């Protein structure tokens, strides 16, 4: 082969690569950057370790000839796929390119995504999808819908096997939302990202309701009301950084342990301020996050669903260098009551931790399930049962600390000994009983109170008597339902010791195809 022939061959490859890298054209890329948004390739460069991205199917084009599409072929077909590394670990990625056919999904586009999905599952590596698409490519008709179905199937088969993370960095509408909906975590950028099944125009036409994209499917709505978004970042760069931080707590697959990070924070560090965290008055609120930051390594944690169902807190953190999931009732919101949102939020988090070998630490302070007709009509029985199911099913190490209130069914649900809790602890401020003293005396001492000369004084005495006898940690310690009553200052030392002891825990569920969680 002559030198000129070799040059001609290489020039053809370079031209095709440049065409693929140009996407919808330099003008469209420049327009996006002028709006403060990145192109698909820019996003991958920001997400992955520098120089590690290896692209796959860069030259793929669609095969559609309908509506003049045969003359509109762009190498890559609106999605950039491949693999790279984050903190040195292999991850698979796809990033939709809105500059090419609006990022719309064709058969070829879907095939590129399913190829990296299959490869990620085969090698046991996380997969990250950067979503920015106008939806199915209408010109391809039902073929594009079949492409979505192929993606959903792989999302489902990979669930619990490899971490799946979705970033919403633009529109994500119609059937496209179900792939992120199946994945483990959704990260949304506050500006320019939207998720909904049907857009404002369709809703206006069908129901005559006026609603904006932001109200219907913006990041704030999904973070606070629907609970669809697990993390919200102020911009695209923040969303990509959040993914990197999230992955730092997760194993590459369900057969691996989460990544260890050495810490200089002493494992036996005592924190005297914990002794005064719980107010003397049992009806006074406090922020459970103040407890969490004092017991985890270096006070660092990543909160999941921070703005949703704030009466329960779910965080990823490290203890003794090893990632853990922490679930904690939040007395500062709804007194820490469990409701529908909190039950679903915590149940899914516990199940995720169980899938990927993250021990679960539970901090308990709840007076029970939130009463009310809205809760009952909304199915609190079914949704509360999800939390029961999640804790009972989990086989990872489970350590529980009752900080204050643990009443009724909520005591059982929150990783009690009866839910196969491995080590159950209590602070001296713990109150464990069938119900709170104020409610219990109305049943147990009703006649005595009613017949007393001073019913108010009699009731006050009855409450004090009940609290002394039942609403304390020592009654449950007597029957072995808590393994130890500990000083709050020693919580970090005891938990880290317990997790070390449980590092080789062996537990299993009965053989079955799968359980039937109350959905």
Q: Which residues neighbour 334 within 8 Å (Cβ) at sequence distance 6 or greater? A: 311, 370
Q: Which two tokens stand for residue 3?
A: 């030198």
Do domains 3-247 and 272-435+472-504 share one topology? The answer is: yes
Active site residue ranges? 174-175, 409-410
Domain limits, the chain: 3-247, 272-435+472-504, 437-470
H/E run at residue 78: none
* Two tokens, residue 245: 């931080």
pLDDT for 45-59, tens place per residue?
Answer: 999 999 999 999 998
CATH of 3-247, one of 3.30.450.20, 3.40.50.10470, 3.90.226.10, 3.10.20.740: 3.90.226.10
CB 494 within 8 A of CB 486: yes
Query: What pLDDT sits at residue 1?
Result: 61
| E strand map for 377-517 | 398-407, 423-426, 431-433, 484-485
Mean pLDDT over the full length of the chain: 92
Per-residue pLDDT at 333: 98
The Cα–Cα gap between 295 and 286 comes to 16
CA separation for the pair 24, 97 (Å, rounded): 8
pLDDT of residue 316: 98
pTM for this one?
0.94
pLDDT in single tens digits along all 519 residues of the chain = 666 788 888 888 888 888 878 877 788 878 888 787 889 999 999 999 999 999 999 988 877 767 767 677 788 888 999 999 999 999 999 999 998 888 888 889 999 999 999 999 999 999 999 999 988 887 777 888 899 999 999 999 999 999 999 999 999 988 899 999 999 999 999 988 999 998 899 899 999 999 999 999 999 999 999 999 999 999 999 999 999 999 999 999 999 999 999 999 999 999 999 999 999 888 899 999 999 999 999 999 999 999 999 999 999 999 999 999 999 999 999 999 999 999 999 999 999 999 999 999 999 999 999 999 999 999 999 999 999 999 999 999 999 999 999 998 999 999 999 999 999 999 999 999 887 777 776 777 777 777 777 777 777 777 777 777 777 899 899 999 999 999 999 999 999 999 999 999 999 999 999 999 999
Q: Does domain 272-435+472-504 have CATH number 3.90.226.10?
A: yes
């Amino acid at each position: 082969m002559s030198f000129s022939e070799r040059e001609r061959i290489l020039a053809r490859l370079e031209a095709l690569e440049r065409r693929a890298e140009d996407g919808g054209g330099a003008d469209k890329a420049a327009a996006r950057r002028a709006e403060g948004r990145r192109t698909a390739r820019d996003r991958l460069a920001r997400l992955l370790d520098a120089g590690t991205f290896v692209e796959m199917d860069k030259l793929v084009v669609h095969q559609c000839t309908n509506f003049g599409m045969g003359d509109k072929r762009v190498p890559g077909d609106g999605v950039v796929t491949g693999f790279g590394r984050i903190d040195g670990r292999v991850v698979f990625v796809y990033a939709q390119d809105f500059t090419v056919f609006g990022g719309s999904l064709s058969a070829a586009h879907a095939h590129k995504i399913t190829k990296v999905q299959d490869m990620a599952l085969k090698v046991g590596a996380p997969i990250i999808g950067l979503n920015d698409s106008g939806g199915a490519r209408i010109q391809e008709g039902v073929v594009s819908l079949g492409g979505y179905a192929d993606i959903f199937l792989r999302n489902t088969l990979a669930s619990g096997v490899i971490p799946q993370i979705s970033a919403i960095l633009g529109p994500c509408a119609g059937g496209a939302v179900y792939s992120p909906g199946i994945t483990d975590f959704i990260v949304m950028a506050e500006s320019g990202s939207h998720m909904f099944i049907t857009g404002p125009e369709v809703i206006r036409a069908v129901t005559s309701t006026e609603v904006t994209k932001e109200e219907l499917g913006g990041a704030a709505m999904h973070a606070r009301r629907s609970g669809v978004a697990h993390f919200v970042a102020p911009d695209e760069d923040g969303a990509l950084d959040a993914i990197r931080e999230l992955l730092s707590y997760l194993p590459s697959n369900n057969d691996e342990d989460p990544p260890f990070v050495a810490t200089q924070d002493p494992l036996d560090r005592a924190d005297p301020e914990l002794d005064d965290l719980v107010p003397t008055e049992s009806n006074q609120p406090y922020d459970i996050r103040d407890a969490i930051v004092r017991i985890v390594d270096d006070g660092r944690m990543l909160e999941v669903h921070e703005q949703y169902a704030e009466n329960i807190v779910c965080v990823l953190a490290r203890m003794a260098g090893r990632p853990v999931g922490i679930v904690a009732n939040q007395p500062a919101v709804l007194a820490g009551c469990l409701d529908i949102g909190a039950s679903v939020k915590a149940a899914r988090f516990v199940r995720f931790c169980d899938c990927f070998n993250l021990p679960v630490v539970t901090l308990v302070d709840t007076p029970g399930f939130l009463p009310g007709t809205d809760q009952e009509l909304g199915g609190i029985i079914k949704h509360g049962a999800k939390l029961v199911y999640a804790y009972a099913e989990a086989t990872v190490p489970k350590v529980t600390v009752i900080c204050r209130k643990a009443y009724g069914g909520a005591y059982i649900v929150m990783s009690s000994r009866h839910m196969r809790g491995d080590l159950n602890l209590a602070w001296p401020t713990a109150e464990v009983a069938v119900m709170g003293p104020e409610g219990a005396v109305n049943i147990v001492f009703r006649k005595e109170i009613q017949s007393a000369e001073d019913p108010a004084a009699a009731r006050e005495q009855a409450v004090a008597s009940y609290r002394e006898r039942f609403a304390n940690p020592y009654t449950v310690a007597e029957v072995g339902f808590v393994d130890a009553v500990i000083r709050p200052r020693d919580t970090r030392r005891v938990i880290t010791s317990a997790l070390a002891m449980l590092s080789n825990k062996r537990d299993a569920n009965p053989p079955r195809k799968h359980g039937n969680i109350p959905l």
